[in-house]
């Protein structure tokens, strides 16, 4: 038994090390690097977007091509910047969430305070990139 553990412990440690080397794919490193450089959605903004935008702009939504918030961290920084500016335009012009949607889901309408929070985030994200 002692012999077996003497073998198993180093063997499993070796496997663990090998696993760490091979199982940490470049994509993970790339993603964390991207996330570090990219535009972070602050908690407060995230909450607003989750309620008012995610129904359509997520993996399961029908407008994920235009904007997929579920995949935010996989967008490269330039794309994020472009999307941030688009979000700013749509929200400030009252185009998003779509008026039809708001009519049926009045709770998902953006309040002036929420719009201001989004605008502030967009301003700081855009200037941070210049
Ligand atoms: C009811 C579904 C729905 C909701 C909710 C919704 N959108 Fe959209 N959105 C769409 C559709 C559909 C399009 C693509 C068609 C279009 O451009 O009008 C779109 C397009 C967009 C675009 C891309 C516009 C462009 O010209 O590239 C942005 C940015 C956007 N939405 C932001 C938002 C934000 C921010 C919210 C929440 C505040 C939101 N949307 C909520 C349906 C929705």
- The whole-angstrom separation of Cα 35 and Cα 73 is 6
- Structure confidence at residue 38 (pLDDT): 86
- The whole-angstrom separation of Cα 48 and Cα 111 is 10
Other CB atoms within a 10 A radius of the CB of residue 129 amount to 14
95 Cα: distance to centroid of ligand 1 (angstroms): 8
Instruction: Return the closest-CA partner of residue 118 out of 68, 51, 60.
Output: 51
Position 13 pLDDT exceeds 70: no
Distances (CA, A) of 41 to 23, 61, 84, 97: 28, 19, 10, 18
- Delimit the domains of the chain by residue range: 45-57+66-130
Instruction: Give nearest CA residue, ligand 1 atom 16.
Output: 66
Q: How does pLDDT run across 35-81, given as a tens digit for each residue?
A: 456 899 999 999 999 999 999 999 999 999 999 999 999 999 999 99
Q: How does pLDDT run across 85-127, given as a tens digit for each residue?
A: 999 999 999 999 999 999 999 999 999 999 999 999 999 987 6
Residue bearing the bigger pLDDT, 67 or 10: 67
Q: How does pLDDT run across 21-40, given as a tens digit for each residue?
A: 455 444 444 444 444 568 99
Instruction: Return the closest-CA partner of residue 114 out of 45, 50, 42, 58.
Output: 45
Q: Residues near ligand 1 with C-beta < 6 Å?
A: 49, 52-53, 55-57, 63, 66-67, 86-87, 90-91, 96-98, 101, 110
């Amino acid at each position: 038994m002692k012999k077996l553990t003497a073998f198993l412990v180093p063997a499993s440690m070796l496997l663990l090390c090998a696993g760490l080397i091979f199982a940490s794919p470049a994509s993970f490193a790339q993603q964390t690097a991207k996330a570090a450089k990219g535009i972070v959605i602050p908690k407060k903004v995230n909450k607003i977007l989750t309620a008012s935008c995610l129904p359509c702009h997520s993996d399961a939504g029908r407008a994920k091509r235009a904007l997929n918030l579920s995949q935010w961290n996989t967008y490269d920084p330039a794309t994020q910047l472009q999307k941030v500016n688009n979000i700013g335009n749509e929200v400030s012009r009252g185009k998003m969430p779509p008026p039809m949607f708001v009519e049926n889901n009045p709770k998902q309408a953006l309040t002036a305070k929420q719009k201001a929070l989004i605008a502030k985030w967009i301003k700081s994200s855009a200037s941070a990139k210049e």
